[in-house]
Amino acid sequence: MNKRKNFIAGNWKMNGTLDTISEISKIDKLSEGYEGDIALCLPNTIISKANENISHKKLLIGAQNCHHEESGAYTGDVSAKMLKDAGAKVIIVGHSERRQIYKETNEIISKKAESIINSDLLTIICIGETEEEKNMGLTSTTVCTQLKNSMPSISNETNTVVAYEPIWAIGTGRIPSLKEIEVVHKELRSLVSKIKGIDTANKMRFLYGGSVKPNNARDIFDLTDVDGALIGGASLKSDDFMGIINVC
Ligand code: 13P
């Protein structure tokens, strides 16, 4: 079995202004001794300033979305290349909020991920089922179809991380059972094994996301096929975020 480096990523969503940079600096300082990878995916408006205020030893600054083209007439959008220019090292794609609110399809998410990889950045591809799909026994079919169609052919273990985020667990305080998380992660790894081979599958990192807090993180991280977490609310405050990193 390959030893995979843990990965803890925070997703600040539409939160954070210049006056919150001090919280990022705190996370930067406190995380220096951590052996895994840590990222904070911030609003585009503070990426550059956040980068100026960190030591660059451990904390990776990232973004939460991008356009799939490099440049052009796409009013209001930014490309992976532009985010890299601002200092982003990692970009999330396919978050359920983008899939649901902005109707992003697997095909568009795959194109975005491809543009991120082609910009030499890391992409975190998110997938996850609705509560209705879960209740109908469709979790596995849903997430495997999403992953198969949102992961570009150039994805590999060094340029792509997968985040499983059940939509009904995001911001609700509810999480699947540990068994359910483990089963989904195993299925996703086995899917990647079928598409990309066992070596890539064993090295690729799969994160769990949805109501991860300092008090439930340890049990989740103990699961064999879970390599870290994508954290929303609890990444906004350095105490909560570090509480999760400390148990990882
Ligand atoms: P919460 O941790 O707030 O549930 O959010 C999870 C999430 O959506 C991270 O991308």
Question: Does the C-beta of 209 come closer than 6 Å to ligand 1?
Answer: yes
10: β partners: 40, 231
Residue 9 has what DSSP assignment? E
Find out whether the beta carbon of 173 lies less than 6 Å from any atom of ligand 1.
Answer: no
Give Cβ neighbours of residue 107 (< 8 Å, ≥ 6 apart).
149
What is the atom index within ligand 1 of the atom nearest the CA of 209?
Answer: 6
* CB of 212 closer than 6 angstroms to any ligand 1 atom: yes
Q: Which residues pair with 93 in a beta bridge?
A: 125
H or E segment at 105? none
Question: Running DSSP on this structure, what letter comes out for residue 79?
Answer: B
Phi, psi of 207 (to 5 degrees): -105, 150
Q: DSSP 3-state assignment of 162? A: strand
C-alpha of residue 172 to centroid of ligand 1, in Å: 9
Alpha helices in the chain (DSSP H): 21-30, 47-52, 80-86, 96-101, 106-118, 131-135, 139-150, 178-196, 198-203, 217-221, 238-247
* Terminal CA-CA length for the chain: 19
Any idea where the domains of the chain sit in the sequence? 7-247
Class of domain 7-247: alpha beta
**Residues labelled catalytic:** 95, 165
Ligand 1 nearest-atom number relative to CA 163: 10
CA 65 to chain centre: 11
pLDDT score recorded for residue 2: 55
For the chain, which residues score pLDDT lower than 70? 1-2
pLDDT of 148: 98
pLDDT at residue number 130: 98
